[in-house]
Amino acid sequence: MKIGLVAGEASGDLLGAGLIRAIQARIPGATFEGVAGPAMVAAGCTQWEEVDALAVFGLVEPLAEIPRLLRLRRSLVKRWKAAPPDVFVGIDAPDFNFGLEKVLRKSGIRTVHYVSPSIWAWRAGRIKTVAAAADRVLCILPFEKTLYDAHGVDAVFVGHPKATSLPTDIDTDSVREILDLGSGPVVAILPGSRGGEVSRLGPLFATAAAILAETRDDIRFVTPIASPKLRPLIEEQIGNAGVADRFCLIDSDSIEAMSAADVVLLASGTAALESALLGKPTIAAYKVAKMTALILRLFRLVKTDVFTLPNLLTETPLIPEYIQEDATPKALAQAVAALLDDPARREEIGRRFATLRTELALGADDRAAEAVIELAT
């Protein structure tokens, strides 16, 4: 069996790697090829292009990248039409993958889209796009399958891989000792994995850290750096805020950073769910380019009042959210301080996040592999 894959960003790379390993366990001779990151390559995928090729975000920001992305899509179509895979799996990256899936599907190749786009939050009309592009959708959130069922789209709820793979018994003291973070309060700060995110949120987070440090002599901050190219930018931001001596910068390992923390301050995205699954009280912020924000508001494209995944999955929101103009250093610092000063609240949040983890821990890699194999055979 040959499987084509296109993953976008680091989170898609990890999903792809888990899927590959689960398929190999069932079909040892299966082969994999396409746009892959280091985790997928390590799992056995032949890499035609790196996942970073798709790392663009927003409504306006990707416009400059359209010619390059169209060339990449055309080259993938040409290769797979010439030597078709038994099934193609597009992992996230919907703006790129749906167009690719639609063309491949018309040529007779079965297509799967892994991770539903946020049709429940904005651009709900995309469900028609999904229906035209994918033979099957693999959903990681429980309510998504119901939406697809109502539109006659074949969808399978597989659960979330992180709910199974993340550690359940964290020795926070040991992690802090390894990172030399001392015995005072620790805040993990994750400004994002893209340059644009870090440019917009990094200074806000660094200034918030400076505000917290003014009244807390023993507070420390730990930040995982998603890629080496972001290190100079982050070092400059915390240096400008005058808190470089309070920060521990580590390479890549967001799980280690969050495991060491009392509270997590992060860019709304995949990391918010990871933080929740680790049981960590979390503050989320996000800012997009001004033009993107204007378009979203002007056309009322956003259909939900909350943005982070955990808040969509719990009965009441547990993660304070600060979006666009509301994301100020003072507001973020106050939100973090409120949690640091309320151990009982932190404990209650941890218990409620543990329940959420149980609901999502279904063995997603295995369920996704079975759904892909079933479609391909």
pLDDT tens-digit profile of 28-49? 999 999 999 999 999 999 999 9
In terms of pLDDT, which residue wins out, 74 or 197? 74
Q: Are 111 and 87 in contact (CB under 8 A)?
A: yes
Q: Which residues contact 377 (CB under 8 A, 6 or more apart)?
A: 1, 86
Which CA distances in Å does 319 have to 71, 113, 278, 314, 353?
40, 28, 14, 10, 11
pLDDT of residue 63: 61
Share of the chain above pLDDT 90, in %: 73
Indicate if the pLDDT at residue 293 is higher than 60.
no
Confidence bin at 56 (pLDDT 50/70/90): low
- Between residues 123 and 6, the one the model is more confident about: 6
Residue 28 φ then ψ, to 5° = -55, -30
Domains 2-159+362-376 and 172-360 share a fold: yes
- Is residue 79 over pLDDT 60? yes
Neighbours of 227 (CB within 10 A): 15
Locus of tokens 């218990």: 351
Residue 325: the pLDDT is 82
More confident call, 64 vs 172: 172
pLDDT above 60: residue 97: yes
Higher pLDDT, 326 or 208: 208
Q: Provide the β-strand partners of residue 45.
A: 32
Report, in angstroms and rounded to the nearest whole number, the Rg of the chain calculated over CA atoms: 21
CB contact at 8 A, 367 and 19: no
pTM of the model as a whole:
0.76
Record the tokens describing residue 276, joined without a space: 């929740």
Q: pLDDT at position 299, please?
A: 42
Is the model's pLDDT at 10 over the cut of 60? yes
Q: CB of 290 within 8 A of CB of 365?
A: no
Instruction: Give residue 329's Cα distance to chain centre.
Output: 23
Neighbours of 329 (CB within 10 A): 18
Average pLDDT of every residue of the chain: 90
Domain 172-360 has CATH 3.10.20.30: no
Question: How many residues make up the chain in this entry?
Answer: 377
Arithmetic mean of pLDDT, 143-158: 93
CB atoms within 10 A of CB 218: 11
pLDDT of residue 11: 82
Structure tokens at 255: 């799980």
Domain boundaries, the chain: 2-159+362-376, 172-360
At 5, give phi and psi (nearest 5°): -140, 145
* Banded model confidence at residue 290, pLDDT cuts 50, 70, 90: low
Question: Looking at domain 2-159+362-376, what is its CATH homologous superfamily?
Answer: Glycogen Phosphorylase B; (3.40.50.2000)
